[in-house]
Amino acid sequence: MSSLVKEDLEKKLFKPLSQNLYEFIEIEFSVQDRYYLCVSVTKTEEVKIIMVKHYRVGLDEKYEVTKKWSLNDLRMIDGKEADTDNPFFDLHFKKVYSLEAYSCASKYAFARTVNKLNHAYLKKDLQIVNFDSTYINDDSIWSSNNKDCLVLMRICFYAFNLVCLSLCPLPL
């Protein structure tokens, strides 16, 4: 479902703006409408963070940009609590925006994408706090191209180790 929404966002909103959509997450912003937080790159290689309202008119899907920021203006992403599984985070621009992602996994996906695009285009000292750095940084041992499988991979690794240890004979 999310790949269909991404295709639709690209076709109806980002391609006409001459931007490439890298990531989007659903955020809980309003009870009535759906909102997405998107990260895109313009033709001039400027990274944008855009809040998009999604609504329907008849059978047609519509998207409206409600807020737009430059990554250059982002000072910090605060994940609130690194040790708990919660979807809340703050984006610190001149003003602080408190947001709730659809899930904790999508919050991390957003932070990873912003961090990756910051390293690729801006190389500025962006603070990403109260996140588990294992799942944010590409240089970690658990990094892979499919970031959504990181937790599963780690659990399988530990389970395999436990099975191996349990099969080892104990010395008498």
Amino acid at 153: M
Q: What is the pLDDT of residue 1?
A: 46
Q: Is residue 159 part of a domain?
A: no
Q: 109-129 burial by CB neighbour count: b if 16+ within 10 A, else e?
A: bbbbbbbbbbeeebeeebebe
Question: Whole domain around residue 105: which residue ranges?
Answer: 3-138
Query: pLDDT tens for residues 94-108?
Result: 999 999 999 999 999
CA distance 123 to 148: 25
Question: What pLDDT does residue 27 have?
Answer: 94
The answer to whether residue 154 is domain-embedded is no
Whether 94 is covered by a domain: the verdict is yes
CATH number at residue 12: 2.30.29.90
pTM over 0.85: no
Alpha carbon distance 44, 41 (integer Å)? 8
Cα–Cα distance, 53 to 15 (Å, whole number): 17
Domain assignment of residue 45, yes or no: yes
Residue 168 lies in a domain: no
Can you give the pLDDT at residue 56?
87
- Structural domain contains residue 155: no
pLDDT in tens, 36-89: 999 999 999 999 999 999 998 888 889 999 999 999 999 999 999 878 889 999
Q: What percent of the chain lies above the pLDDT cut of 90?
A: 62
Residue 14 amino acid letter: F
CA dist., res. 154 & res. 88, Å (int): 24
Count of domains for the chain = 1
In a domain, 85, yes or no: yes
Is 27 among the domain residues?
Answer: yes
